[in-house]
Structure 1
Amino acid sequence: MNISDLQSFIAVYHLRSISSAALELNMTQAALSKRMKALQCDLQIQLINTENRRQLVITEAGDLFYQYAKEAILRYDKLQLDLNDYRRMNTGVIKLGIIPVLAQYGITQLIGQFKQKHPSFNFHIIENEGVNLLSSLTEGKIDASILRDTQSNLLQDSLYHKIPLVNDELVVVVPASHPLTRKAKLKPQDLANLELVTLLKGSGVYEPVITRFKSCGIEPHVFFESAHIETIIEMINHSQRATFLFKKSAEPFVTPAFEMRSFSPPIHSQLQFVYPKATCLMSIGEFAKQLRQLFQYKITSEQENI
């Protein structure tokens, strides 16, 4: 007995006719009759009575069998759907856009750990500035993106999932010899007369810095903008200039020749995994959940090693 036998019996039960059921099942009447006889033989009980050529009769055992057959088909159909979902969840290519923080936050390592657990997952990773990734995400050119909340805030909460990954603090970076290192925290007033170096507009750094300055009624003197942290650090080296970076992003580049200071009050931001709520890729939701778990594990491990 198999699923085809159950489907055939259900058709016979509904139509009360071997010939009509055979037509619906796209098989010959003789083949369906043979299948029904084999099914009854397998069960060792009569399910249908065909003595009356004009009207097929379902026996009491047939009525009982129908209930179980119907339930079995429903469960089989659900199984197929669940398996299809599982296949979609564990296969395919995720086009993932990430702002330039892959190394600083250990994202490459986390994706590698995820790939070890889910080898059938494939990624196409694009590193770009947040403003460009926002456009790609809204236009459907990428499936998901890792952004700062200063960037994802431009997306409607009703249309996008925004999964928090890790928090970070925006700090002021100056040469170690800079007079401002005497202060534990800095205000825009302390930086008002300095040449400032910053990441580009849309980087997630530029906007909160400019907003903080303007909230204090100060027009910042932006001397230089770049997409590259290495260039920014070099531009403030051996100078009286200052720049702004998120602490995690800055740590790999800040040697003893530089020092970091917090804003007063501090400026915090959250790195988020963002994807459309209307996505048909179940794999994205699974990846988002496990990426967050990996981030939390990484953070806990780092804290324990301090």
Structure 2
Amino acid sequence: MNPNIEEVILAEPRGFCAGVDRAIEIVERAIAKFGAPIYVRHEIVHNTYVVNELKAKGAIFIEDLADVPPGATLVFSAHGVSKAVQQEARDRGFDVFDATCPLVTKVHVEVAKLAKEGYEFIMIGHKGHPEVEGTMGQLSSGIHLVEDVEDVAKVSPAQTEKLAVVTQTTLSVDDAAEIAAAVRARFPKVREPKQQDICYATQNRQDAVKILSPQVDLVIVVGSPTSSNSNRLRELAQRLGTESYMVDSADELKPEWFEGKGRIGLTAGASAPEVLVREVIERVRALGAVSVRKMDGIEETIKFPLPKGLKLDDIPPPGHIS
């Protein structure tokens, strides 16, 4: 017991975004309609609990399409895939449902449109992240990745008259702005998106942490190690001067983190289900937390449509992960 813990303050908004909700529902509906197994290229979203729940329902997660049997149903993850992966799936004759987040697809469409006009691209993102691989894989060449301000000085595009910048959707808003400023300084004619590529959910969750952090002594972020947007929330709280930890589940909480901490802030990345947040609340209550209150914040009402063939009237709704 830690008698010092007065209350837990819940960030608002937190947890699932519309793109994650849609991606999970696509897998669940595909299983309901076609039966198990349904193959999914890469983790549908970066959350251990979600992936394990879907495995239990009959999803098989693979990285290499060679591991999928002929004629199988395949789902692309929310992060998007390259043109080469799309083509390979067609060549192998899979029945494909694309769970790419529509906000990632928007970036892909922009890249394709500007490439036809002769543009080269600078992409701000994390090397090796599946979303970055998917976006860069929309073109065979002419797209240059920068991970930080230092990388901007090393970029050597073939020409600078037609240069555009695109961004991974789950970055730190502040870091991306700093890198974009460095790109503008080096390439003053660079074309930037009318609306930033960083998605509404990433922005809203980071804004909520900016409001939450000064009010608390400790911030706990619920999210898996592979989740880019969850990692950014923990880093942001830390940068704002509040001790912060990220946990995949309540089991990872350490009692010593809470010693001498009166107010605990709690948030969750866009791929982390609310059930995990509830379990963390219970664990912190067991450590002595007296009350839990929700911070005022933006209410998100965005919902993305499902692909054809998986609409609500096609099949009964499955038991959805929440």
| Larger relative strand fraction | 1
TM-score above 0.5, yes or no: no
Structure number with greater Rg is 1
| Higher relative contact order structure (alpha carbons within 8 Å, sequence separation ≥ 6) | 2
TM-score, L = length of structure 1 = 0.32
TM-score, L = length of structure 2 = 0.31
| Larger relative helix fraction | 1
